[in-house]
Amino acid sequence: MGQVHIDEVSLAFETRRAGRVVALEQLSLAVPEKQFAVIVGPSGCGKSSLLDLVAGLKETTAGQCRVDGKVVTSPGADRGMVFQSYSLFPWLTVRKNVEFGLSLNKVPPKERSERADHYIGSVGLLGFENAYPSQLSGGMKQRVAIARALANDPEVLLMDEPFGALDSQTRSLMQELLLGIWEKEQKTVLFVTHDIDEALFLGDVVYVMSARPGRIIDTIDVGLERPRHYDIITTPQFIEFKRRIMSSLHAEVEKAMNLN
Amino acid sequence: MAAGTLDRLFRPNKPIPRQIELWTGITVAASVFGLWCLFTYGGIVSGDFLPAPGEVWAAFVSTLSDGTLLKHTRVSLYEIYLGFVLSSIIAVPLGIFMGGFRIVAAAIEPVVNFMRYLPVTALIPLLILWVGIGLEQKIAVIFLGTFFQQIVLIADVSGRVHDDLYNVSYTLGASRWQVVTRVLLPATMPGVMDTLRVTMGWAWTFLVVAELVAASSGLGYMILQAMRGLHPATIFVGIFVIGFLGLVTDLAFKWAKNVLLPWTNIR
């Protein structure tokens, strides 16, 4: 469960200033179940839009997304999402935030609180169950958002630059935490970032996206051994991958900047 | 280099010591009262123009003991709460939907914006013609004065609910109705409370205007009668009572927000 297929997907929209903008052009990729797939690309390349399409939050202009063979037509609980902006409900405590999806789907209170406890524990926030989001740091908020997505038991976890707003120390810790959870949960993850180190550290596969209109210009089978520790970023293989991504992205960023 | 105390008190947006904050307020209030005493007891202005604190107190005691103050206060409170509640129970849901749904905004925005710029005072003659000078007229003035302002302010609040909150709810399996009840409504509550608090102050203005123009009871009417009878001390009683009731209402709203929406007030 949790296979994602993106079949020749295009996305275009009208803007008042620039007319018709093609964000994605005939983009295809396939993510097998339980894979950690990362999409890395310059800002504005449409990588976040791609996640929105898989989530069903946007409609494709052409092509389709499928999850376990089923064509995506609307958002659903089988595709959980974590946003860069945390997007916690400020009026709910940590526990109620984590239980939100379960309460929507009428899961009985006992099971709800057991699942919430489990995931609050696995993101290391025991003791903060009754805190409100405004009392938490950015890293803690994002841990709540991850727990909330996982408590809902989705087939696929979509992550849109989830650590982009965090400082670099917190970010490394969060990456390790995420890998630890993923290795236990074995969910399909589609993760979007512009941070090359993050992409290589986390991913089984890294897709490199071009500047707009976004296409996949390189695919890297990372294949670094798991469980991973942060010191792999200094290994020759990691550095070689990084060099390869940087050189393809460099040209794309230049292209993107000239376009503006 | 250590900055001087005075220098420290005048830095934009920086906190000042709690004690100084408290005493500054007390000093200014006491000075205003002191000036009032000086002008009246010092014989600088005539008592017909500005009554002395003692006279205002005496007028307060006498209107209180003969029951007129309570009668007029009760009438005003009844009118304002009825008008305000009527306005709010329609404006709050309508405003929330206007901000949350473009189609609702498209439908009612033109009418609302037209009505919003009509000063309600201009409508008073028409309202007197239609419903007379009784309770209905006061309710109508308060309603028309606050309703269109409330709806616009509340629509602004609900229009600001972040898209990501909706999106994350959909990806957690929320239906469209659940997104309205579980995201849009709670997200707008703090802004709704603030709007109600602010518009309650305006409602007082409209009430008193309505009572000054045409009424047979109420605090505004009491003030007008006092003017006709050349009784400035009673005018001041009316003004102080209105100010006091406004202050109490404001505190009640703040208290209600802290109790009903505890998450808005924690750090």
Q: Is B1 a domain residue? A: no
pLDDT mean over B60-66: 94
| Percent of chain B predicted with pLDDT > 90 | 70
Length of chain B: 267
What does pLDDT average to over chain A? 91
Which residues in chain A have Cβ-Cβ distances shorter than 8 Å to B179? Answer: none
The predicted model scores a pTM of: 0.86
pLDDT score of A260 more than 80: no
Nearest C-alpha neighbor of A27 from the set A45, A42, A43, A44: A45
**What tokens were used for A181?**
């959870």
Q: Which residue of A has its CA nearest to B184?
A: A89
Q: Kindly state whether residue B123 falls inside one of the protein's structural domains.
A: yes
Share of chain B above pLDDT 70, in %: 99
Which of A52, A74, A77 is facing B172, going by the closest CB pair? Answer: A77
**Beta-bridge partners for A11:** A24
In a domain, B3, yes or no: no
CA B99, B100, B101, B104 dihedral sign is negative
HEC secondary structure over chain A: CCCEEEEEEEEEEEECCCEEEEEEEEEEEEECCCCEEEEECCCCCCHHHHHHHHHCCCCCCEEEEEECCEECCCCCCCEEEECCCCCCCCCCCHHHHHHHHHHHCCCCHHHHHHHHHHHHHHCCCCCCCCCCHHHCCHHHHHHHHHHHHHHCCCCEEEEECCCCCCCHHHHHHHHHHHHHHHHHHCCEEEEEECCHHHHHHHCCEEEEECCCCECEEEEEECCCCCCCCHHHHHCHHHHHHHHHHHHHHHHHHHHHHHHC
Average pLDDT over residues A62-81: 93
Report yes or no: B263 at the A interface, CB cutoff 8 Å. yes
Residues A39-52: tens digit of each pLDDT: 998 887 889 999 99
ipTM score of complex: 0.91
**In this structure, is residue B20 part of a structural domain?**
no
- Residue found under tokens 């229009």: B159
Range of the domain at B102: 55-265
What pLDDT is recorded for position A226?
Answer: 85
Asked if B165 and A87 come within 8 Å (Cβ–Cβ), the reply is: yes
Contacts of B210 (CB under 8 A, 6+ apart): B124, B137, B138, B141, B142, B220
Which pLDDT value is given to residue A259? 57
Instruction: Summarize pLDDT for B139-195 with one digit per residue, the tens.
Output: 999 999 999 999 999 999 999 999 999 999 999 999 999 999 999 999 999 999 999
**So what's the pLDDT on residue B267?**
62
Q: Which residues pair with A27 in a beta bridge?
A: A9
Phi first, then psi: what are they for A21, rounded to 5°?
Answer: -115, 130
Q: For residue B120, what is the domain's CATH number?
A: 1.10.3720.10
pLDDT at A104 over 80: yes
pLDDT in tens, B16-51: 889 999 999 999 999 999 999 999 999 898 888 899
Q: B36 lies in a domain?
A: no
For residue B183, list chain A residues with Cβ-Cβ distance below 8 A.
89
Which tokens in the block code for residue A179? 């890998």
Min Cα–Cα distance to chain B from A81, Å: 6
Distance from the Cα of B22 to chain A's closest Cα (Å) equals 28
Is B14 domain-assigned? no
Q: Can you tell me the distance from the alpha carbon of B82 to that of B92, in angstroms, rounded to the nearest whole number?
A: 15
Q: Is residue B26 part of a domain?
A: no
Q: Which of A130, A135, A144 is nearest to A87 (CA)?
A: A144
pLDDT at A13 over 70: yes
B25 part of a folded domain: no
| pLDDT for the residue numbered B1 | 45
- Structure-token pair, residue B202: 């305006």
Whether a cis peptide bond, with omega within 30° of 0, leads into A162 is no
Per residue in A171-225, pLDDT tens?
Answer: 999 999 999 999 988 899 999 999 999 999 999 999 999 888 888 999 999 988 8
Q: Is the pLDDT of residue B266 over 80?
A: no
Question: To the nearest whole angstrom, how far is the Cα of A101 from the nearest Cα of chain B?
Answer: 5
Question: What are the residues whose beta carbons fall under 8 Å from the beta carbon of B112, sequence distance 6 or more?
Answer: B98, B148, B151, B152
Question: Which helix H or strand E contains B211, and what residues bound it?
Answer: helix B185-213
- Chain B residues in contact with A79 by the CB 8 A cut-off are 171
Instruction: Provide, as residue numbers in chain A, all residues whose Cβ is less than 8 Å from the Cβ of B263.
Output: 90-92, 132, 134
The total domain count for chain B is: 1
Q: Indicate if the pLDDT at residue B11 is higher than 50.
A: yes
Residues 6 or more apart in contact with residue B76 via CB below 8 angstroms? B207, B208, B211, B218, B219, B220, B242
How many other C-beta atoms can be found within 10 angstroms of the C-beta atom of residue B240?
Answer: 12
Assess whether pLDDT exceeds 90 at residue B214.
no
Which pLDDT score is estimated for B160? 94
**Mean pLDDT, chain B, whole residue set:** 91
